[in-house]
Each structure stands twice: as structure tokens, then as C-alpha cells.
A and B are shown apart, each in its own frame.
Chain A
Amino acid sequence: MSIISTLINGLSMGAVYALIALGYTMVYGIAKMLNFAHGDVIMVGSYVLFVFTMKSIKNPFLAILLAILFCVILGVLVECIAYRPLRGAPSLAVLITAIGVSFLLQSVAQLIFTVTPKQVTMFQFNSIEFNGLTIKTESIITLVVGMIVMIALTVFVNKSKTGRAMLAVSEDRGAAQLMGINVNRTIVITFAIGSALAAVASVFMLFIAPVTDPTLGAMPGIKAFVAAVLGGIGSIPGAMIGGVILGIVEQFALKYEFLASYSDAIVFAILILVLLVKPSGILGKKRHEKV
């Protein structure tokens, strides 16, 4: 019966990867760049959560709201200051800048908070016993909230005027301009949404392990990138599917002792396999740009 609890853990881990992967895939689709600093936004979010859940303040809901707000502002600033001046520059220059932003964020976090991991406790959860099955409450919350956020995002992108503009810019920037769409504004909105999703992911990351340090975002960032590639980078449903597959595979690998220590290796083996078999990913379209 423990298969079911592993499945639930996998789904909830997958929801976290999906939330992060959405940031990668939307920015890639619309701004045509790989934002390698995206994972570090999660880390920044986790420190905001740390500061506002310290004993002297201790207000987890305010902390979550502020983490989202802070990450959105950060994402918008990074786009406007670091990436916008490079619009139209070779993609290698943009990629190097993104890596630079990643280092910068990690270094600033290290200056302020040192490398010592910080304990972040937002809520106390009890496990649910069900038919002799133990299910973690936080997994269920992650799964449910993650699904609600993703459904809301899907509706927003497909039904709202701004969402339609995002899809138009991602398909043909020039034609979108001819429709009267402000491309820069659309890209800023995309960064804001991606960063908000990363902040939500940071809450869930701290549910899983309630400690943070300046490299918190690195591994989930890379894994979510794998999820985005797996689903087809640029595709929003693809990022969701890719994230969920990755989460489930990883949790099942962790379940078996002989596989557990290889769980990260398995994730990257999946990336290599996808790149070999179907480089455009599960839902990806053939593109001319090089990643």
C-alpha cells in the first residue's frame, strides 16, 4: 500500500517541479532566453520566509505574501536591468548574464545570511492516517494548491487578453507588435508570473525540508529545467507534465534502496535520453533556435 503514499509524494514533488518549470518555460517561450537565475529566486523567497517566520515576527501567511511580492519585484528588476539591454544580443551573451545573475543572488544571500543553513518553520503539520496508510498533510496541501495555481495559470494564459498577448509574442514577436502588443511589457509580466510561481515553490520546498541556505535553488532549479525540456520547452502544459513525471520518477527511485542514491543521476539520465530521442520534448514543437 505504500505505493500510494509514494505516488502522492511523487505527485506533490512533481507539482513543485512543475511550478518552477513553468517559470523556465514561459520565459523561454516569450523572451526566448534561458533564465538560469530562475532557481535562485526560490532561494530568495525562502529567505524572505525565514525572516518573517523568525520568533520575533512569526506570521507565516504574511511571510508567504511578502515572499511572493519580493520575488515578483526581484524578477522584474532582473529583467529590466540585466536582460532587457541584451534584447537582440547573441543568446550566449544572455546565457552568461543569467549565470552571472545567479551567482550574484547567491553571493548576496551569503553576505547577508552566511552559508550556515537556517531553520524555517512556517506551520506544524500532522500526518493523516487512512486505512493504515500514512499521508503527509503537507504533500496534500502542496498537491492541491499546486493544481489550483496551475489551473488558474492555464485559464489566465488562454482566456485573458494579456495571456493571449503572451502566446502571440511567444509565437511571433514581430507580428505581435503589429497587433499593437507591447513586447517589453509582456516580457516583464512573464517574469513577474514566473517569479511568483517560484515563490510559491519555495514555500513547498520548505515544507519538504524546513532549512535553507544560499544554494537552496540550485538543484530544484536544474531539475525543473530538466522537467521543462522533458515536457517541451516553451510549452506550458509540457512543463506541468514534465514536472509531474520527474517528481514521480524521483520519489519511486528514492523508495528503493538500490536506486535511492542514484535518484539525481536518474533525473539527468532522463534529460539525456529525451535530448537523444525527442529533442523537442513531449509537447514541444520543432524550433529553429538553438538552446
Chain B
Amino acid sequence: MRGMYAVFKRELKAYLFSPIAYVVMTIFLVISGYIFYSNLAIFSIISFQAIQQPQFASGLNVSEGVVRPLFGDMGIILVFMAPLLTMRLFAEERKSGTMELLLTFPLRDMEIILGKFFAALVIYLLMVAATAVYPILLLVFGEPELGPLIAGYLGLILMGAAFLALGTWASSLTENQIVAAVIAFGMLLLFWIIGWATSLAPPLLRQILPHVSIIEHYGNFSKGVIATHDLLYYLLFIGFFLFANQIGLESRKWRGRV
């Protein structure tokens, strides 16, 4: 634990002293801000019309009209941004050779992996916290339902953590940060779209694939539903990639290719 905390602190400092975290955060906030603004603008126009023509007003609410699309879009931006946050974690150490010293310190492999993963997670949480401005604006000027907001954030955080776990694993596969980012991006995209092909798949896969898809589980959260199997999916996803990372590390040690 002590070792993990030390690795975590060092990683976190490395993030704060390098531009990548700031660039990713800025882009994420700018794009999600723009999406929030345009959704809100469209929503107000529709609401305004609804005042004049009350038959349209039924079924119109902020959660459906603004909050859900916002979470949906933030999820998509995240597919692009998470790999950029994690690509450095192992690839850089492998390239510069510092991995050799790190692995001879009295640390368990998992302490190293978790330390790095949590550092990326904290940066991500900061980024997510900054997006809280949008719902706060909604709370000040309107009355959005709290349920979908809270569930949406829980979903966003869990899905982000899953992306980061996958990205951290991808970073341990190569010495090249770009390659690490591309692998992570490709895998995330695959997990995102995997549910699309279900209609063509054989019956067994047709049942399984939707549950593997990352977006499927995310959708429930932004509807305001917190279901055990969605929680479990993300926790298993995170656990799987952290564990895969450890196995990979161990096997590269045996082969002497760290």
C-alpha cells in the first residue's frame, strides 16, 4: 500500500507537470461545454414554442432534453481522450528504461499498476468535476431531476475508470506512446460498437454481445437507473484489465523484455 501511494504521488506530479493532462482537460471541457450549450439552446427554443402551443409540452423535461444527451456525448469524447491520458503510464518508463529500476524496488507489480491507474483516475475525476458547472447552471435556472444527474455521473465515472484501466494495460504493451494510444482507442471503439452487429450474429452471440458493449451499460445510468449488473460490468471490466496488465508484466519479466 505504501509503495502504491508513492507510485501514485509520483505519477500524479508527472501529470501535473506535463502539458498532456491540461490539453486533454481543456479539450474535454470545451467540447462538452459546447454540446451542453447547444442542447440547452435547442431545448429552450422548443420549450418556448411549447408555451405557445401547450399540446407539445407533454414529455418535455430537462433530463431528457439536456442531461441525457450531454452524458451520451461526454462518453463519446472520452473514447478519444482517455487513451491520451493513459498512453504515457508504462510506455514512457519502458522506453526510458526507468521500468528496470522501478521493478527492482521492493514493490509488488500490482502496487505499480494501481498507483499509475489511480493517478490517471484522479486526473480524470478532476476533469469530470469541472463539468459539474453545467448541471449546477441547470439547478440554478431550472429544476432538473436529481436522479438521472447523479446516476449519470456515477456512470460517467465508472465508464471513465474502465477506459483508463484498458488504456493503462495498452500502455504496458509497447514502448511507443502513440501505439499505446492507438491500441487503447481501437479497443474502446470496438467495445463501443460491438453491440451493433447483433442482428447478424448467431443466436448465442446475439445474447452475449449487447452485454459486452460498453455503451449498453452506460445508457442505463444516464436514464437514471443504477442497476447491479451495470455496476458489476464496469467493475469486472476494470478488474480484468488491471489483472491482464499484471499477467503481461509477469510474462514479460520471464522473457526478459520489460
Query: Do A and B share a complex?
Result: no
Query: Which B residues have a C-beta under 8 Å from some C-beta of A?
Result: none
